[in-house]
Chain A
Amino acid sequence: MIIEKTFNKWILVFLFLIPVLGFIFEEPYYITLTTKVVILGIAGIGLNLALGYCGLISFGHAAFFGLGGYVTGILSFHALNSELMFSWPFVSSGSSDMLVIWPIVILSSAFLALIIGLLSLRTTGVYFIMITLAFAQMLYFFAISWPNYGGEDGLSIYMRNSLPMINTMDPLNFYFICLCWLLTVIFISAKLINSSFGMAFQAIKQNEERVKSVGIETFKVKLLVFVISGTITGLAGSLYTDLNRFISPSVLNWQMSGEIMVFVILGGIARLYGPLVGAAFFIVLEQTLGSYTENWQFWLGLILILEILYVRTGILSLFEKKLKYEK
């Protein structure tokens, strides 16, 4: 574990260095690319809490990512166009202030996760996978058939949402906003994992019947993990909309859920920095292989197969130093 911890520290150093180098060498594209890695890493860290640490194989996290994105897009769309959003119970014309948008995104993602969790956590195994997938697909088809906000074509916002005293249109500034969120999410996740609550949900992944037998209400534990997980992924969706200044139903599609899952599996299931490494690896592959062939995902599939066959616990496990008593 010592080597992995050192590696994780280097990841943080790189996260500070790469965009600064991009700025110095006037390559803003690399800043944007690293911002995307950070945002997708946040989404992956959210899913990892449920999937990696609690064993909840959610195939519907695109629902939270997309909801966060759409809430941000819709609030911003109304504010920037000075259009009335609703007039009851109070009058609102949206908002383009990130300090207003983020709490709304957090609350709405948490609420959606609560509803989906309450219904889906009564099932297990393949049924849980299918029911979470079904919820995300419902939202996907709803977004497609919602012409007010672009329908299938998606919704563009011509300016990034604002933050007091910070020019969010500057790629480096926006990058550091996302990085702050990443560090916050890593900090919160680390605290959760090492808490007694974390002990309970990690035990549930390994042996739920035993956890029940010691009097722990596993349903409540799983529900809370699912809500926290969905909320974090929803926040990533919000940042993603601001990064692209665009949101479309594609982020609600099952393929998005699959991609977030790939970040987790590639980097390392139940490893705090795993999804971040997975997202970085995914983006690097997309950029490098994608410049040679349109079918770069074929090679991604091949790498995934090899990883599952030979590494299994993700890229980060290559840096793991086994403890004395481990076989």
Chain B
Amino acid sequence: MKNKILNIKNLSKSYDAFKVTDKITIDLHFDEIHALIGPNGAGKSTLIKQIVGSVKHDIGSIILDQEDITDLTDVERAKIGISRTFQVSSIIPQFSAIDNIVLSLLDKSNKTFQLFKSIRNNKELYSNAKKILKEIELLEKSEISASDLSHGDRRKLEVGLALAMDPKVFLFDEPMAGLDENGTNMMINLFKKIKSNSPILLIEHDMDAVFALADRVSVINYGKIVATGTVNEIRQNELVRDVYLGYEI
């Protein structure tokens, strides 16, 4: 238990008779990247939404760093250290890239309710935001409106927003979708670097990236975890080959 930062037990969600997630038990260790793979509609994103609290679960429990967060709201969970990216880029479109990052830094720095001080004059916040933009290779585009960024740059910005929160765990929902090779390599290197501070639960369809990054992999199908293991164990699991990977790996 002590080496687990996130421990999810029997998490279930049904819409009428349809079980989106069915008694999912999964955990995340310190220093690891745990990939969650599975076909479209298997329940991966719903699981993320349940962990962050934007979708209410029917039964089950979520323990973060030995604290039961099952009954906390989505905002409370974000405050205590769950940071996420969205499957479809979710940014503040009319803000510049740097302002998006600064927004993400507000709560940690207790600046949200600072009413009359110009945010632009807060050199510390903007300097921290620049460091994050540099990490995600968007520093040169810091003043560009987020809505004018390319799809790949928006994906990077999503990750930047999560990084800015300096959370206990990251939940990344297809962060590499639509990225070119350079972008994917940048993300892989970045994730390897940050996982020691904040472990990552990673949903990703890019299997090369998953196998390059993951310490453990869980496979979800029809809302159930059908296998969990190291990359090699998962590669050789026949059930997993049947439901998701196929035979071309």
User: Cβ of A213: which chain B residues have Cβ within 8 Å of it?
Assistant: 52, 54, 74, 78, 83-84, 86, 90
Whether the pair A195, B145 counts as a contact (CB closer than 8 A) is no
Interface residues on chain B, size class: 35 or more
Q: B238 contacts the other chain (Cβ, under 8 Å)?
A: no
Whether the pair A195, B92 counts as a contact (CB closer than 8 A) is no
Q: How far is the CB of B149 from chain A (nearest CB, A)?
A: 10
Whether the pair A206, B94 counts as a contact (CB closer than 8 A) is yes
Whether the pair A210, B91 counts as a contact (CB closer than 8 A) is yes
Binary interface profile of B, 92-121, with partner A (CB < 8 Å = 1, else 0)? 111100010011101110011111111110
Whether the pair A195, B78 counts as a contact (CB closer than 8 A) is no
Whether the pair B113, A214 counts as a contact (CB closer than 8 A) is no
Whether the pair B102, A216 counts as a contact (CB closer than 8 A) is no
Q: Tell me, in angstroms, the Cα distance from A216 to B111 when the chains sit together.
A: 10
User: Cβ of B116: which chain A residues have Cβ within 8 Å of it?
Assistant: 188, 191-192, 195
Q: How far is the CB of B139 from chain A (nearest CB, A)?
A: 16
Which residue on chain A has the smallest CB distance to residue B143? A325
Q: Tell me, in angstroms, the Cα distance from A196 to B120 when the chains sit together.
A: 9
User: Cβ of B42: which chain A residues have Cβ within 8 Å of it?
Assistant: none
Whether the pair A326, B145 counts as a contact (CB closer than 8 A) is yes
Q: Tell me, in angstroms, the Cα distance from A96 to B46 when the chains sit together.
A: 61
Whether the pair B115, A194 counts as a contact (CB closer than 8 A) is no
Whether the pair A214, B145 counts as a contact (CB closer than 8 A) is no
Binary interface profile of B, 149-165, with partner A (CB < 8 Å = 1, else 0)? 00000000000010011
User: Cβ of A221: which chain B residues have Cβ within 8 Å of it?
Assistant: 112-113
User: Cβ of B93: which chain A residues have Cβ within 8 Å of it?
Assistant: 206-207
State which residues 191-234 of A face B: CB under 8 Å: 191-192, 194-200, 202-203, 206-207, 209-218, 220-221, 224
Query: Which of A191, A206, A214 is in CB contact (< 8 Å) with B165?
Result: A214
Interface of A is mostly: helix
User: Cβ of A122: which chain B residues have Cβ within 8 Å of it?
Assistant: none
Which residue on chain A has the smallest CB distance to residue B104? A214
Which residue on chain A has the smallest CB distance to residue B90? A210
Given contacts A206-B92, A213-B86, A217-B75, 15 further A-B contacts (CB under 8 A): A191-B116, A197-B114, A199-B102, A203-B103, A207-B91, A207-B92, A210-B86, A210-B92, A211-B92, A212-B74, A213-B54, A216-B75, A220-B113, A221-B113, A327-B148
Whether the pair A198, B119 counts as a contact (CB closer than 8 A) is yes
4 closest residue pairs by CB, A with B: A215-B107, A215-B78, A196-B111, A215-B79
A215 with B117: in contact, given A199-B102, A203-B103, A206-B94 (CB under 8 Å)? Answer: no
State which residues 36-92 of B face A: CB under 8 Å: 52, 54, 74-75, 78-79, 83-84, 86, 90-92
Q: Counting chain A CB atoms within 10 Å of each CB, which of B75, B114, B143 scores highest?
A: B75
Whether the pair A196, B117 counts as a contact (CB closer than 8 A) is yes
User: Cβ of B94: which chain A residues have Cβ within 8 Å of it?
Assistant: 202, 206
User: Cβ of A194: which chain B residues have Cβ within 8 Å of it?
Assistant: 118-120
User: Cβ of B145: which chain A residues have Cβ within 8 Å of it?
Assistant: 325-326
Q: Counting chain B CB atoms within 10 Å of each CB, which of A200, A210, A213 scores highest?
A: A213
Whether the pair B112, A196 counts as a contact (CB closer than 8 A) is yes
Q: Tell me, in angstroms, the Cα distance from A162 to B86 when the chains sit together.
A: 58
Q: Tell me, in angstroms, the Cα distance from A203 to B99 when the chains sit together.
A: 10
User: Cβ of B118: which chain A residues have Cβ within 8 Å of it?
Assistant: 191, 194-195
Whether the pair B84, A196 counts as a contact (CB closer than 8 A) is no
Query: Which of A199, A210, A211, A212 is in CB contact (< 8 Å) with B119?
Result: A199
Whether the pair A199, B90 counts as a contact (CB closer than 8 A) is no
Whether the pair A214, B119 counts as a contact (CB closer than 8 A) is no
Q: B122 contacts the other chain (Cβ, under 8 Å)?
A: yes
User: Cβ of A218: which chain B residues have Cβ within 8 Å of it?
Assistant: 75
Which residue on chain A has the smallest CB distance to residue B109? A196
Whether the pair B103, A200 counts as a contact (CB closer than 8 A) is yes
Q: Tell me, in angstroms, the Cα distance from A224 to B83 when the chains sit together.
A: 26
User: Cβ of B164: which chain A residues have Cβ within 8 Å of it?
Assistant: 214
User: Cβ of A212: which chain B residues have Cβ within 8 Å of it?
Assistant: 54, 74-75, 78
Whether the pair B107, A196 counts as a contact (CB closer than 8 A) is no
User: Cβ of B177: which chain A residues have Cβ within 8 Å of it?
Assistant: none
Q: B186 contacts the other chain (Cβ, under 8 Å)?
A: no
Q: B144 contacts the other chain (Cβ, under 8 Å)?
A: yes
27 pairs of residues in contact across A and B, judged by CB atoms under 8 Å: A191-B115, A191-B118, A194-B120, A195-B116, A196-B106, A196-B111, A196-B114, A196-B117, A196-B119, A196-B122, A197-B113, A200-B103, A200-B112, A203-B95, A206-B93, A213-B54, A213-B74, A213-B78, A213-B83, A214-B103, A214-B107, A215-B78, A215-B79, A215-B108, A215-B165, A220-B113, A325-B148
Whether the pair A216, B107 counts as a contact (CB closer than 8 A) is yes
Q: Tell me, in angstroms, the Cα distance from A207 to B103 when the chains sit together.
A: 12
Whether the pair A214, B120 counts as a contact (CB closer than 8 A) is no
Whether the pair B112, A203 counts as a contact (CB closer than 8 A) is no
Whether the pair A216, B90 counts as a contact (CB closer than 8 A) is no
Q: Tell me, in angstroms, the Cα distance from A221 to B108 when the chains sit together.
A: 16
User: Cβ of A325: which chain B residues have Cβ within 8 Å of it?
Assistant: 143-145, 148
User: Cβ of A211: which chain B residues have Cβ within 8 Å of it?
Assistant: 92, 103
Q: Tell me, in angstroms, the Cα distance from A214 to B122 when the chains sit together.
A: 19
User: Cβ of B115: which chain A residues have Cβ within 8 Å of it?
Assistant: 191-192, 195, 197
State which residues 109-141 of B face A: CB under 8 Å: 111-120, 122, 125
Q: How far is the CB of A205 from chain B (nearest CB, A)?
A: 9
